[in-house]
């Protein structure tokens, strides 16, 4: 079931008006897609944060617009705590979309019993699926992962109807000796991608 996002029309644009909206507890938003005229909207921050907490990617718009939309981008403040702007695209119930979703590892790797260290290299993948059936995450079982081995994206359990967009040979996880794991961690910096990117506020907004 989709989350509901109540929206109102937004007559004024620009950074100054956007700041005034935020001070009043509102978030500026844009809706586009399906060959229709882009719309400037606004919604209450409490409603927006509720949708985000529930992990919704597709929402039912109510109020000034009655439509189904996919949240394409969330713009956050510098500290990643407050949503500054939302970009949404119209979608239909039978439409297929391309999205990035988190990969969750499941099970205990056989290689860990032999002293190996499991390293989760790629934390999200790109898939194509129905707009109304976007999964919160996908699962990769690692029980068969041996010391010195790896598992690729083609081993991920995808929901019915979903297809992999990323390269099937993309390495998601491997099991290495402790010394190798320490060296790899230093090289990558330990950064992990997120489901929805948190970006700094833009200088100007529409």
Q: Which of 118, 124, 179 is nearest to 149 (CA)?
A: 118
Domains and CATH numbers, the chain: 3-90 (2.40.240.10), 96-188 (2.170.120.20)
In DSSP terms, 203 is beta-bridged to none
pLDDT of residue 35: 81
Residue 175 · residue 143 · CB < 8 Å: no
Q: What is the pTM of this model?
A: 0.67
pLDDT of residue 184: 60
Helix ranges (DSSP H) in the chain: 15-23, 45-53, 110-113, 178-188
Residue 127 · residue 158 · CB < 8 Å: yes
pLDDT of residue 196: 47
pLDDT of residue 198: 47
pLDDT of residue 192: 46
CA distance linking residue 87 with residue 31, whole number of Å: 6
pLDDT of residue 158: 95
CB count within 10 Å of CB 27 equals 24
pLDDT of residue 179: 78
Counting as low any pLDDT under 70, the low residues of the chain are 1, 180-206
Residue 84 · residue 76 · CB < 8 Å: yes
pLDDT of residue 183: 61
């Amino acid at each position: 079931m989709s989350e509901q996002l109540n929206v109102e029309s937004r007559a004024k644009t620009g950074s100054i008006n956007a700041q005034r909206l935020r001070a009043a507890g509102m978030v500026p938003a844009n809706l586009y897609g399906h060959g229709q005229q882009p719309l400037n909207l606004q919604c209450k921050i409490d409603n927006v944060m509720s949708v985000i907490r529930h992990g919704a990617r597709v929402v039912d718009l109510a109020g000034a617009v009655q439509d189904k939309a996919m949240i394409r981008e969330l713009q956050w403040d510098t500290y990643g705590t407050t949503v500054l702007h939302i970009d949404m695209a119209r979608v239909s119930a039978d439409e297929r979309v391309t999205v990035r979703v988190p990969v969750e590892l499941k099970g205990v790797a056989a290689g860990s019993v032999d002293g190996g260290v499991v390293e989760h290299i790629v934390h999200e993948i790109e898939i194509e699926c129905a707009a109304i059936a976007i999964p919160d995450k996908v699962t990769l079982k690692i029980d068969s992962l041996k010391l010195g081995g790896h598992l690729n994206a083609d081993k991920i359990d995808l929901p019915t109807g979903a297809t992999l967009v990323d390269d099937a040979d993309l390495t998601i996880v491997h099991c290495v000796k402790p010394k190798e794991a320490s060296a790899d961690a230093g090289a990558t910096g330990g950064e992990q991608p997120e489901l929805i990117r948190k970006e700094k506020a833009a200088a100007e907004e529409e």
